[in-house]
Structure 1
Amino acid sequence: MIELKTPAAIDAMAAAGAVVARALDAVHDAAAIGVTLRELDALARTVIADAGATPAFLHYQPSFAPTPYPAVICASVNDVIVHGIPDDTALRDGDLVSIDCGATLAGWVGDSAISFTIGTPHPDDTHLIDTATRALAAGVAAAIPGAHLGDIGAAIGAVGRAAGYGIPHDFGGHGIGRAMHEPPSVPNDGRPGRGLRLREGLVLALEPMFLAGGHDDYRTAADGWALHTLDGSRAAHVEHTVAITADGPRLLTTA
């Protein structure tokens, strides 16, 4: 069942989202050549705990996953699209990093993701990240009362397809609230005017994922979590939690 959130609930979700934004800011600032993914995970854990919140990803096990998730952030590097598990891998000059983070505060969840490069950026990576960011903005702009889920997917997909990027099947945005994943699912491609009509109080996590090689297919790592591009090309992933209100889309995952 889809739950429409009250203004007070949306304010509470914004507080959870602010914790996520601070954790992502801290991780981005700390990410540098030689820093390990596990160190970034520990930093996010500290920021979330200091805010009186709890990590939303830690021990989370959606239906597709064979085991509970073992970390606080998803740290996906280069050809990893999403769900990379932080380990002792040290960041290198030119790496493309996507960090996804969630936090629960007072029973409400915030979820957001950023992509960035380490050291000297490659122009192709910069274009990929910028395109994903523009697609997210287009999806947010389409999240208004009276529109349809297909309008959001079409807005995101149009930006990615125009750039020649792939969009992975079966993974996209989602409803969010008391739980990390709530209905409805929000594809990153779609047809305008199709799907659920959007109403005030609906809160969605919108998250474009683009694959530089142009293919939509992916492979799942042996750990059952990380998704890799089939051709080894790079991927970018960005996300915001967004509330649909009478005054327009409200971003809930900003600091």
Structure 2
Amino acid sequence: MKINLKSKEEIARIGEAGGILAECHKEIAKMIAPGITTLEIDEFVESFLADRKATPEQKGYRGFPFATCASINDVVCHGFPSQQQLQPGDIVTIDLVVNKSGWLADSAWSYRVGEVSAEADKLLKMTEKALYAGIAQALPGKRIGDIGYAVQRVAQEAGIGIVRPLIGHGIGKTMHEAPDVPNFGRPHSGVKLQSGMVITIEPIFTLGETGAIIWENDGWTIRSADRSLGAHYEHTLAITDERPVILTA
């Protein structure tokens, strides 16, 4: 397993892609409302990136046909954008990877559509909390298991499920690089973190305690097995000597 450490210049290039991605998510947040379709959001993203001379990396990746993954309610990941209109009380995750001049950044965010239930609100808050708990562990000398354990503890204390097969990863000129970054782990175990590593941390939780999932026949769409709500938050970050630097903030 070769880990590609990035120079400051390369991290800046990833940060350029990440800045575009963060700006895009800010615009998506303004669009989220009852009645809009995820296909409309997808078309907006494609146009937004083109205006900035960037491209959606997942379009065409292993045949994936869209610029974004758009996952509603019990779809926890990799949902296809569609003509389905968002309804009050839905939660929707938009996940995208931006390619700017050959360097990639990846971020997913779960959005509330109008007022959501107390249970949905708790799921969203805990999943986002877990993201930042994991990021706080992304320091040189720590290990991958420290990140996973921090994420795992938030889910366990909240009594919600961890989708264990879906994990974070290294990123740079390709979407998935070493190392894998699971959302569970043992402290002081796994790959040692070094300055220059660029990774994604992306907790994916379900309201159901098992976190069990099923793949749909399209080969992409992933639902919670118990049809409970799913949430997904993700940032791309660089590990530096001083602190973790979020490149998609």
Q: Deviations over 1:225-253 (max 9, x none)?
A: 01101111001000000100011100000
Q: Work out the CA distance in 2 between the residues paired with 1:198 and 1:120.
A: 40
Q: Work out the CA distance in 2 between the residues paired with 1:148 and 1:120.
A: 39
The match for 1:5 is 6
Contact kept, 8 Å, 1:78 with 1:97, in 2: the verdict is yes
One-letter amino acid of the counterpart of residue 22, structure 1: E
Q: Work out the CA distance in 2 between the residues paired with 1:31 and 1:55.
A: 20
The match for 1:175 is 170
Deviation at 1:216, TM superposition (A): 2.5
Q: What TM-score comes out, normalization by structure 2 length?
A: 0.98
Deviation at 1:151, TM superposition (A): 0.3
Find 2:140's aligned residue among 142, 145, 162.
145
Deviation at 1:169, TM superposition (A): 2.5
Q: Deviations over 1:7-47 (max 9, x none)?
A: 11111111100111112121221121111110000011111
Structure 2 residue matching 1:143: 3-state secondary structure: coil
Q: Work out the CA distance in 2 between the residues paired with 1:145 and 1:106.
A: 28
The answer to whether structure 1 residue 118 and structure 2 residue 113 are counterparts is yes
**How many matched pairs?**
248
One-letter amino acid of the counterpart of residue 52, structure 1: K
Structure 1 residue matching 2:161: 3-state secondary structure: coil
Structure 2 residue matching 1:242: 3-state secondary structure: strand
Structure 1 residue matching 2:189: 3-state secondary structure: coil
The match for 1:41 is 42
Alignment of 1:70-149 (within 5 A): 70-149=65-144
Contact kept, 8 Å, 2:164 with 2:184, in 1: the verdict is no
The match for 2:207 is 212
Contact kept, 8 Å, 1:26 with 1:44, in 2: the verdict is no
Gaps of 5+ in 2: none
Structure 1 residue matching 2:27: 3-state secondary structure: helix
Q: Work out the CA distance in 1 between the residues paired with 2:79 and 2:26.
A: 19
The match for 2:26 is 25
The match for 1:65 is none
One-letter amino acid of the counterpart of residue 55, structure 1: P
One-letter amino acid of the counterpart of residue 102, structure 2: G
Q: What TM-score comes out, normalization by structure 1 length?
A: 0.96
The answer to whether structure 1 residue 228 and structure 2 residue 223 are counterparts is yes
Contact kept, 8 Å, 2:32 with 2:111, in 1: the verdict is no
Contact kept, 8 Å, 1:22 with 1:47, in 2: the verdict is no
Structure 2 residue matching 1:243: 3-state secondary structure: strand
Find 1:160's aligned residue among 144, 155, 158.
155
How much is the aligned-residue C-alpha RMSD, in angstroms? 0.8
One-letter amino acid of the counterpart of residue 251, structure 1: I
Gaps of 5+ in 1: 62-67
Q: Work out the CA distance in 2 between the residues paired with 1:20 and 1:241.
A: 10
Percent identity, aligned pairs only, is 40
Deviation at 1:131, TM superposition (A): 0.4
Contact kept, 8 Å, 1:24 with 1:101, in 2: the verdict is no
Moved over 3 A (4+): none
